[in-house]
Structure 1
Amino acid sequence: MAAACAPLAGDLRSQLLASVDALLFDCDGVLWRGESAIPGAAQLVNRLQECGKLVFFLTNNSTKSRELYVEKLQRLGFRAHCQQIYATAPCAALYLRREIQLCGSVYVIGGAALRGELQAQGIVCSGPGPEVTPGTLQVWATEPLDLTVAAVLVGFDEQFTYLKLCRASRYLRDPACFFLATNTDTLLPLEGGGIPGTGCLVKSVEAASKRTAYVIGKPNDFMFKCIVNEHGIDPSRTVMIGDRLDTDILMGSNCGLRTILTLTGVSTLEEVKAHQESDSPERHKLVPTYYVNSVADLLPGLE
């Protein structure tokens, strides 16, 4: 059985905060819900920074630029700047430019923000938008491809079409063409039960191409590696705070971090218990070190 997930309160809360220099926060479901801040979340984040702690904001959402995230954070009362934002769009650009040193352009399934972050780092891309092309299936199967394309990147795309799927799979027939995805979240937790997320689009391209995408976002460790490289933080003195076991908490486990589940978002203690009682070591990685009802519960630990 996995180790117990302890409630974070009292002296344990103070000890934990004293033992960390950096805190990684997921955003939606942790700091806000929709357009409303979680009560006390802004006070916590601001107080942490006043105490000299490093605070970073991590999100799998590829539909907003870092500037838009800063604007939202500040509008909701959080102190934030672009260097604290680690989203899948800018991190995908970093991966293409630094990790694989891409020579060529990128075929993008995604929106304007994803394309903008790529272009801001000098990466040529094509694909975002309606891509309405008349013709038959035979025309789409044989149309000339852009010979400069050296990678396919899949993010959230409200205008995803069969034509985009065809083009992506044709590019990926070349084994030298890199295949990346911003994230594999299968659900966008909106009011009314949510809608299909980026992971559903990724799965369709994987099925069509018979290839597996390299995932930039949580639960992979690439965003954390970016933070370590740029800010020199110590994993042993860092904590990950999130509301989803399969992304936030699993990323923390994959990176050797202590983790805190907040119950203001997606995952529940019942799910934690099910993973604890499982015989699978992989499911044990989904068990957080601690839990709180809300991130605001951490505020007394700074007094």
Structure 2
Amino acid sequence: MAAVNIKSLKESQIGEFLNSFDTVLTDCDGVLWMETTPLENSPEVMNKFRDIGNQVFYVTNNSKKTRKELVEKCKELNFQATEGDILCTSYLAACYLKDLGFDKKVYIVGSTGVSKELEQVGIKHYGVGPDIVQKDVPYMSFQRDPEVGAVIVGFDEHFSYPKILKAASYLADKTVLFIGTNRDEKFPLDSNIIVPGTGSLVRCIETCAEREAVIVGKPDTYIVDALKKRYAIDPKRTLMIGDRCNTDILLGTRCGFKTLLVLSGVTSLTDIETWKNSDSQEDLDLVPDYYIDKLGDLLPYLKNFERSSSA
């Protein structure tokens, strides 16, 4: 399997590529923007995809924000978006429980993104915010709330020993559901500081609870189940765009999507070369169909593109 640099394609091949999909799923951080700065020409590319008739979905493992908050961010950075276009893991965790008919309370190790999305579907919760060790209150005195029927672990800047204790204690009851928003180990930042991602927190609680979480974010395929249930998408005519092969590209591979890697985030061209020469199927599944330096590089091809009537 060999990844193809889109820039190396002939004009006719570029047209064939653009005609081969009518649904676009894209990661956000590292693909469309870095923090609050849009990457060059990425808004124009995504808006052009929509203009030529594609369904466009913003698919992010970010659980800190709600769909509404992400729509606001998109609009601030000049991306066209509605709440129906956003698939963030805070929303997906709420969808997962709603689809099960869940009617108990959730203990959250996470942020207000998760709590607000749970509130939107009428699910009770607690746990968001600081929970520190207090010298005058022995942590061993913790009493489980009998109403709790699920634990959700997302990104939590207030991650602490008491939170690990409470989550694992609830999960000692095997009937309590265990949901992780994603397994991203760290964030794509241009610095020498390693910023732990949600996957590090999920793994910590999995270790303590001796249980494995159900993951609703990429690369696990619940996200596609949710898409199919709520929208009409054809996997064979879907493009997945991402900057991280072990989440974005692997999701696409597992679901039969076409995959496009941008080299503006986590994964490098060196990584791709290593994987495509591997004998391991796990490594080969990480190799994208196509790659490009940055998403904005597609703009010249899209400006003059007209969708074929046979597509």
TM over 0.5, shorter chain: yes
Question: What pairs up with 1:194-205 in 2 under 5 angstroms?
Answer: 194-205=194-205
Match of 2:4 in 1: 6
1:149 corresponds to 2:118? no
1:31 corresponds to 2:32? yes
Match of 2:80 in 1: 79
Match of 1:178 in 2: 177
Question: SS at 1:233's partner residue?
Answer: coil
In structure 1, what residue type is equivalent to 2:278? S
Q: Deviations over 1:87-109 (max 9, x none)?
A: 000010000110x3223111100
In structure 1, what residue type is equivalent to 2:175? A
Q: Deviations over 1:172-194 (max 9, x none)?
A: 11111111100111102234233
Please state how far the C-alpha of 1:298 moved relative to its aligned partner: 2.1
In structure 2, what residue type is equivalent to 1:192? S
Count of residues in Structure 1 that have an aligned counterpart in Structure 2: 299
Question: SS at 1:196's partner residue?
Answer: coil
After TM superposition, the score normalised by the length of structure 2 is: 0.92
Question: What pairs up with 1:103-122 in 2 under 5 angstroms?
Answer: 103-122=103-122
Match of 1:102 in 2: 102
Please state how far the C-alpha of 1:69 moved relative to its aligned partner: 1.1
Question: SS at 2:139's partner residue?
Answer: helix
Please state how far the C-alpha of 1:227 moved relative to its aligned partner: 1.7
Distance 1:117 1:133 in 2: 28
Check 1:279–1:216 CA distance in 2 against 1; reply closer, same or farther (3 A cut).
same
Question: SS at 1:241's partner residue?
Answer: strand
Q: Is the 8 A contact 1:13 1:298 kept in 2?
A: no
Q: Deviations over 1:206-247 (max 9, x none)?
A: 111011111110011111221222111100100100000111
Match of 2:20 in 1: 19
Match of 1:246 in 2: 246
Question: What pairs up with 1:224-303 in 2 under 5 angstroms?
Answer: 224-302=224-302, 303=304
Please state how far the C-alpha of 1:133 moved relative to its aligned partner: 6.4
Question: SS at 2:191's partner residue?
Answer: coil
Please state how far the C-alpha of 1:51 moved relative to its aligned partner: 1.0
In structure 2, what residue type is equivalent to 1:291? Y
Distance 1:75 1:143 in 2: 44
In structure 2, what residue type is equivalent to 1:126? Y
Distance 1:213 1:104 in 2: 18
In structure 2, what residue type is equivalent to 1:146? D
Question: SS at 2:24's partner residue?
Answer: strand
Match of 2:94 in 1: 93
In structure 2, what residue type is equivalent to 1:35? T
1:127 corresponds to 2:132? no
- Gaps of at least 5 residues in structure 2 are 305-311
Question: SS at 1:195's partner residue?
Answer: coil
After TM superposition, the score normalised by the length of structure 1 is: 0.95
Please state how far the C-alpha of 1:132 moved relative to its aligned partner: 4.3
Question: What pairs up with 1:60-79 in 2 under 5 angstroms?
Answer: 60-79=61-80
Distance 1:178 1:136 in 2: 32
Q: Is the 8 A contact 1:69 1:85 kept in 2?
A: yes
Distance 1:242 1:67 in 2: 22
Between 1:190-199 and 1:271-280, the stretch displaced more is: 190-199
Please state how far the C-alpha of 1:31 moved relative to its aligned partner: 0.8
Q: Deviations over 1:241-267 (max 9, x none)?
A: 000011100111111111000111111
Q: Deviations over 1:56-90 (max 9, x none)?
A: 10100100111121111111111111110000000
Match of 2:308 in 1: none
Q: Is the 8 A contact 2:41 2:295 kept in 1?
A: yes
Q: Is the 8 A contact 2:103 2:123 kept in 1?
A: no
In structure 1, what residue type is equivalent to 2:2? A
Distance 1:243 1:11 in 2: 26
Q: Is the 8 A contact 1:181 1:215 kept in 2?
A: yes
- Gaps of at least 5 residues in structure 1 are none
Q: Is the 8 A contact 2:132 2:161 kept in 1?
A: no
Distance 1:163 1:134 in 2: 10
Q: Is the 8 A contact 1:249 1:259 kept in 2?
A: yes
Distance 1:216 1:7 in 2: 31
Between 1:174-183 and 1:100-109, the stretch displaced more is: 100-109
Distance 1:284 1:37 in 2: 31
Please state how far the C-alpha of 1:142 moved relative to its aligned partner: 4.0
